Amino acid sequence: MKRTVFILCVLFFICYNRSDAQKPAHSFALDDSVFLLDGKPLQIISGEIHYPRVPKEAWRQRLKMAKAMGLNTISTYVFWNLHEPLKGKYDFTGNNNVAEFIKIAQEEGLWVILRPSPYVCAEWEFGGYPFWLQNEKGLIVRSTEPQYLEAYKNYINAVGKQLAPLQINHGGNILMVQIENEYGSYGSDKDYLNINKKVFIDAGFDGLLYTCDPANDLVKGHLPGLLPAVNGLDNPAKVKKIIKENNNGKGPYLIAEWYPAWFDWWGTKHHTVSPDSYAAALDSVLANGISINMYMFHGGTTRGFMNGANYNDKNPYEPQISSYDYDAPLDEAGNATAKFFKFREVIQKHLPSGQILPPVPEKKKTIAISSIKFSKQSGLFDILPLPIKNINPLSFEDLNQAYGYVLYRTVTDGNVAGILKIKDLCDYAIVFVNGKKVGGLDRRLNQNSISVDLPKGKVTLDILVENMGRINFGAYLLKNKKGITESVLLNNKEMKDWKMYSLPFNDINSVVIKNNRVEDEVPVLKKGNFEIAATGDTYLDMSNWGKGMVWVNGHNLGKYWSIGPQQTIYLPAEWLKKGSNEIAVFEMMKPAQAELKGIESPILNSLK
């Protein structure tokens, strides 16, 4: 009997201690005007960082910089097309390991605002949606359409398994979770928003949920019962007024996106703003007890094919550049700017008495690479895979290809001149006749037709099409297919019998260079090596090149285009190694270009 009692007492002690250990370390709640952390007011001073736009190896350095500027919180989106690139195939590894990013933030003493809405905008490809959604016949994003809701739920459940345990009410550092994203700028279906809320709760997000919208759209995008946050305002009186009007006369008050800068797109100047006026606005916001999230604190780089684009009935197609420097307080490489120091002064002024910010880490080391030469190269027509054949041209989606390039080929009778028209070209094309370049077509400029003169006999017509980024904002989310999405006409007669060669460049190391032949004006893939004695950040100077992409040590660094404003590609030290490094360049316009160098400063505002 005594032994039984003893065992029961031991079991009770173990269970009690386990229960106690599982109690959340902190509590987070809403008061009428402030957020409450452990029952005490917390003014959230947050900055946006997107984990995939920063090398995983550099996450901690960027988060230390956030602490040094005075931020107590980090905000990030979660990107559906990264985490479910193919239907039912999830990836939370490497640079997609968002849970690790959040845990590092906790180790650095930072709270997190999580934004896992399936739609993120963010100047990101398709607003974060995976391309394969467009292959589900009848699926309508941001709606109650059943196929979309099923895909949405599956994805959020996968995210919940990764991140729900990291909420503050479970002992983690996630303070708040956003449902949808600026939905009021797109629609006003409250039933849809209610479904969003339920999907998140069912996935384990049982803490504080909220919505965010621009001021003019907040009424449409807010779900009653959740905290409404406002984007784009920094007038304290207006912020408080609109939140009270939509929250039963109460706060707390959160500016979910405050824009101390802006993003860039190809062919327009680099956007910059003076730090002084924004420092004054930040001072006013903090003095009035309003919480704030600056978009962006650190932009980083949109690598690979992940840039989005804007488009509406008034403006042409506007694909965004690879640099997401954003003129943010932290520059593209993670160094403090003048804006950083101005904001730091303001934040220090509003900290509790006696609290001192940590020192600002030194600027990261940079290196120059005097000359990078290429040892092998192969023209476009020599690296083609096996084709897919079809009577009509197939879109990227039809080919089950997410990004990159597709070469379309048909053979036709010659001895004819006229107008070649591509109906609904998405987005950039180079046209060849018998392997010779005829010209290019650019969706940005509303170009879809070109004059051709076909010689006698059988003629091979090739059209290389690049996906320059799916639209990430507005009604055209539903019109986002890529490639030749309709037809090709020669003198108004539709051309048939096509071969499609997919060039997704998912793994540049798998593309075999077969020879060193380069033809005039034919796109070329170049590969080589360069030696460095020590690592450091550098910027590849592409100003003498034409248009294309760069890989170093297997990492896709992003796109370049001579039209600017971006003329350099940021190469982070974390992806370099002492000794030999591998480089590859896919150049579309200047195949004869042979040398490249790395310089110590970026060129982000040079138009040609």
Q: What is the CATH number of the domain that holds 482?
A: 2.60.120.260
Interior angle at CA 62, CA 56 and CA 65, nearest 5: 165
Residue 214 lies in a domain: yes
Closest CA to 556 of 504, 506, 502, 503: 506
Token pair of 380, please?
A: 């476009």
In Å, what is the CA distance from 437 to each residue of 379, 441, 460?
Answer: 13, 12, 12
Shared domain for 165 and 306, answered yes or no, is: yes
Distance CA 330, CA 299 (A): 8
Binned at pLDDT 50, 70 and 90, residue 75 comes out as very high
Instruction: Quote the pTM value.
Output: 0.95
What is the distance between the alpha carbons of residues 45 and 294, in angstroms, rounded to a whole number?
8
User: pLDDT tens across 405-434, in order?
Assistant: 999 999 999 999 999 999 999 999 999 999
Residue found by looking up tokens 């780089």 in the block:
301
> Is the domain of 473 the same as that of 543?
no
Q: Is residue 260 part of a domain?
A: yes
Cα 577 from Cα 582, distance rounded (Å): 10
Instruction: Report the pLDDT averaged over residues 172-181.
Output: 98
pLDDT at residue 566, rounded to an integer:
98
In a domain, residue 62? The reply is yes
Tens digits of per-residue pLDDT, 516-526?
888 899 999 99
pLDDT of residue 574: 98
**Confidence band, pLDDT 50/70/90 cuts, at residue 10:** very low
One domain, residues 466 and 323: no
Contact 117, 159 (CB under 8 A): no
Length, in residues, of the chain: 608
Same domain membership, residue 138 and residue 226? yes
Query: Using one digit for the tens of pLDDT, what is the confidence trace for 298-328?
Result: 999 999 999 999 998 887 899 999 999 999 9
Instruction: Return the number of other C-beta atoms located less than 10 Å from residue 18's C-beta.
Output: 9
408 and 500 in contact (C-beta within 8 Å)? yes
Preceding amide of 504 cis, omega within 30: no
pLDDT at residue 219, rounded to an integer = 98
| Boundary-marking domain end, from 503, 537, 560 | 503
Nearest to 397 by CA among 409, 388, 386: 388
Residue 550: both structure tokens together: 């760069």
**Residue 14: is its pLDDT beyond 80?**
no
With 60 as the cut, is the pLDDT of residue 369 above it?
yes
| For residue 15, pLDDT beyond 50 | no
Q: Does residue 34 surpass a pLDDT of 70?
A: yes
Residue 352: predicted pLDDT: 87
For residue 105, being part of any structural domain is answered with yes
Q: What is the pLDDT of residue 517?
A: 80
Domain boundary among 503, 536, 559: 503
| DSSP-derived secondary structure for 254-286 | EEEEE-SS---BTTSPPP---HHHHHHHHHHHH
Residue 133 sits in the same domain as residue 62: yes
Task: Walk across the sheet containing 493-494 and list its strands.
Answer: 449-454, 416-426, 483-490, 493-494
Task: Give the active site residue among 125, 182, 521, 587.
Answer: 182
Over 50: is that where the pLDDT of 20 sits? no
* Nearest one of 174, 24, 157 to 99, comparing CA atoms: 174
Confidence tier at 16 by pLDDT (50, 70, 90): very low
Which residue among 84, 180, 257, 587 is the active-site one? 257
Spatial separation of the C-alpha atoms in residues 98 and 224, rounded to whole Å = 29
Give the mean model confidence (pLDDT) for residues 552-575.
98
Residues 428 and 477 in one domain: yes
Please report whether residue 414 resides in a domain. yes
Helix, coil or strand: residue 205: coil
CA distances from 169 to 27, 261, 546 (A): 6, 34, 52
Give me 170's structure tokens.
């479970």
Q: How confident is the model at residue 19 (pLDDT cuts 50, 70, 90)?
A: very low
- Give the SS3 label for residue 405: strand
What's the whole-number mean pLDDT along residues 462-490?
Answer: 96
Q: In the chain, how long is the greatest CA-to-CA distance? A: 105
218 and 326 housed in the same domain = yes
Position 30 in a domain: no
pLDDT of the residue at 313: 81
Give yes or no: residues 584 and 543 share one domain: yes
Kindly state whether residue 459 falls inside one of the protein's structural domains. yes
Residue 604 lies in a domain: no
pLDDT in tens, 42-66: 999 999 999 999 999 999 999 999 9
Whether residue 570 sits in one domain with residue 473: no
pLDDT-derived band at 5 (thresholds 50, 70, 90) equals very low
pLDDT tens digits for 370-388?
999 999 999 999 999 999 9
Confidence of residue 24 (pLDDT cuts 50, 70, 90): low
What is the average per-residue pLDDT within 290-295?
A: 98
In the beta sheet, which residues pair with residue 378?
Answer: 525
Average pLDDT, the chain: 95
CA distances from 386 to 17, 406, 500, 503, 588 (A): 63, 12, 9, 10, 21
Which pair of structure tokens corresponds to residue 343? 């904001």
Which of residues 474, 503, 532 is at a domain's end?
A: 503
Res 225: pLDDT: 95
Range of the domain at 97: 40-349
Q: How are beta strands 73-77 and 111-115 bridged, if at all? A: parallel
Q: Tell me, yes or no, if 182 is annotated catalytic.
A: yes
Cβ within 8 Å of residue 354, ≥6 positions away: none
Q: Return the percentage of the chain with pLDDT > 90, whole number.
A: 92
pLDDT at position 12, please? 52
Name the DSSP letter for residue 301. B
Instruction: Compute the radius of gyration of the chain from its Cα atoms.
Output: 26
Q: Which distant-in-sequence residues (6+ apart) come within 8 Å of 562 by Cβ?
A: 542, 543, 545, 546, 547, 589, 608
Q: Output the pLDDT for position 316.
A: 87
Do 269 and 286 belong together in one domain? yes
Helix (H), strand (E) at residue 292: strand 291-298
Active site residue 257: yes
Confidence class of residue 353 from pLDDT cuts 50, 70 and 90? confident
User: Do 212 and 112 belong to one domain?
Assistant: yes
b/e burial code for range 408-431 (CB count within 10 A of at least 16 → b) = bbbebebeeeeebbbeebbbbbbb
* Closest residue by Cα to residue 558 from 330, 354, 324: 324
Supply the pLDDT for residue 336: 98
pLDDT of residue 575: 98
Rounded Cα distance between 198 and 253, Å, is 24
The Cβ of residue 136 has, within 10 Å, a number of other Cβ atoms equal to 14
CA-nearest of 165, 76, 151, 85 to 118 is 151
492 and 546 housed in the same domain = no
State the Cα–Cα distance between residues 584 and 161, nearest whole angstrom.
Answer: 37
Transcribe 313-344 into DSSP letters. Answer: SSS--EEBPSB--TT-SB-TTS-B-HHHHHHH
For the chain, how many structural domains are there in total? Answer: 3
Over the stretch 248-267, which tens digit does the pLDDT of each residue have?
Answer: 999 999 999 999 999 999 99
Q: Domain holding 218: CATH number?
A: 3.20.20.80
- pLDDT value for 3: 56
Residue 264, amino acid? D
User: 554: alpha, beta or left, given left = phi > 0 and alpha = psi -120 to 50?
Assistant: left
